[in-house]
Structure 1
Amino acid sequence: MSLELFGHPFSSYTWKALIALYAAELEFEFRIVDAEHPDNVEVVQSAGPLAKFPVLRDGENMLFESTTIIEYLSHHHASDMLIPADPDAAIGMRMLDRMFDNYVMEPMSQVVQEYIRDGENPDEARVAEARGKLERSYAWLEGWLQFYPPMDHVTLIECAAAPALFYADWVSPISSQFPRLRRWRAHLLQLPPVAQCVEDARPYRPFFPLGAPDRD
């Protein structure tokens, strides 16, 4: 049985797993999770406590959480190309993975959730606080990028960074005071595995709660 990924093309965390699958050139079946595919919804609901996607099914193995999926792919299917075998290098990579999930993706999601809750009257204090966190993360990443030149090889870092920065820039645009970060985001979006995710998600842009910008 081939690998199966359950998720949605517009989901940032689904992107994270898809980028790994595309980069490793692994054969898999994509199972979209929406109201028109109740069987796929049922699989996701059975996989984890909060019925969140993505979910990877590999025979009898069922995994949820995108980082766990990438760890599994790297160990079982991608010969450590996504996460290095060297433990110290892997620790550094995992730290950056958490950076993007917790300090970029999470505050971006907080803003989006406010507009889902009430698009006409979001809690401006909460939105401002979340955007402030994004600005601090942008500043930290701008400094970190002095030591991390853009690469064409996709690792766990690129899998985490590309969707996080793609959507974060829609919520709180990366300003010209962060030139390295702006250049790196543009570089990430040109990587073939990421570019495929961008194109596959394009039909769903009208559903973005803040209104998708006319770019990217």
Structure 2
Amino acid sequence: MTDLILYSHPFSSYCQKAIVAFYEKDLPFTQRMLEDEGAMAELKAVWPFGQFPILKEGERRFAEASIIIERLDQISPATPMIPTDPDLALEARFMDRVFDNHVQANQQRIIYNALRPEGQRDPLIDQEARAKLETAFAWLNDLMAERTWAAGEVFTLADCGAAPGLLYAHWTHAIPKDLVHLWAYRRRLLARPSYARALDEARPYRNYFPLGAPDEP
């Protein structure tokens, strides 16, 4: 098999999403740490947007965490992150979009706004993003009342993204304590060996979190 090289950083939520899939599949890979200027230059040479992770497989390059995970399913289909059942596959892809577009995207809007110089921060961006996170949390709480994992009873692509997504979302805008089903799901994600490993690798970089990382996971 061609060597798999992942351009990534352990603290990035989208990199963790891809790394969880590698660990679920027990699939070996080499991580090119993007703290290395040479690695970032290599990444930008094939993906000028400069976003990560990027998977290098021989002469092929794959961008976007969800696409990388789909490629990993093609390489190692024995542990599918996208179910083979068409209906479950559609649900997994849908829930993946929910966590990317309604959890991670709004969490990151708050972070990017906080990183602006103080006089350039937009309080409306912050208010809108926090309101949307509240909506997402409540919707997910109702959904997870009857599910073990995001798409049902099997760990999928959606859970790979939900684990870091909910971790950083809670750090940014606390999940209300009365959303007991969402909290139970978050605990299951934190206990999943693949994510526990990825999270442990990210711990040395917790001081990178712009709002200040809490002591608890």
1:173 aligns to what?
174
Say which is worse superposed, 196-205 or 22-31, in terms of deviation: 196-205
- CA distances 1:45-85 after superposition (whole Å, capped 9, x unpaired): 02324111000011121101000000110122233611112
2:37 aligns to what?
38
Work out the percentage of aligned pairs sharing the same amino acid. 37
Could you tell me how far apart the structure 1 residues matched to 2:14 and 2:205 are? 15
The structure-2 alpha-carbon separation of the partners of 1:21 and 1:199, relative to structure 1 and needing over 3 Å to count, comes to same
Is 1:98 aligned to 2:117, yes or no?
no
Could you tell me how far apart the structure 2 residues matched to 1:180 and 1:24 are? 27
The structure-2 alpha-carbon separation of the partners of 1:190 and 1:152, relative to structure 1 and needing over 3 Å to count, comes to farther
SS state of the match for residue 163, structure 1?
Answer: helix
Opposite residue 216 of structure 2, the aligned amino acid is: R
2:112 aligns to what?
113
Could you tell me how far apart the structure 2 residues matched to 1:25 and 1:212 are? 29
Q: Where in structure 2 are the equivalents of 1:1-216 lying within 5 Å?
A: 1-34=2-35, 37-79=36-78, 81-118=80-117, 122-150=121-149, 154-216=155-217
Q: TM-score, normalised by structure 1?
A: 0.93
Could you tell me how far apart the structure 1 residues matched to 2:16 and 2:7 are? 11
Could you tell me how far apart the structure 2 residues matched to 1:137 and 1:22 are? 27
Are the counterparts in 1 of residues 53 and 64 from structure 2 also a CA contact under 8 Å?
A: yes
Q: TM-score, normalised by structure 2?
A: 0.93
Q: Which runs of 5+ in 2 are unaligned?
A: none
Aligned residues: CA RMSD: 1.8
* Count of residue correspondences: 214
Deviation at 1:142, TM superposition (A): 0.7
Q: Which runs of 5+ in 1 are unaligned?
A: none
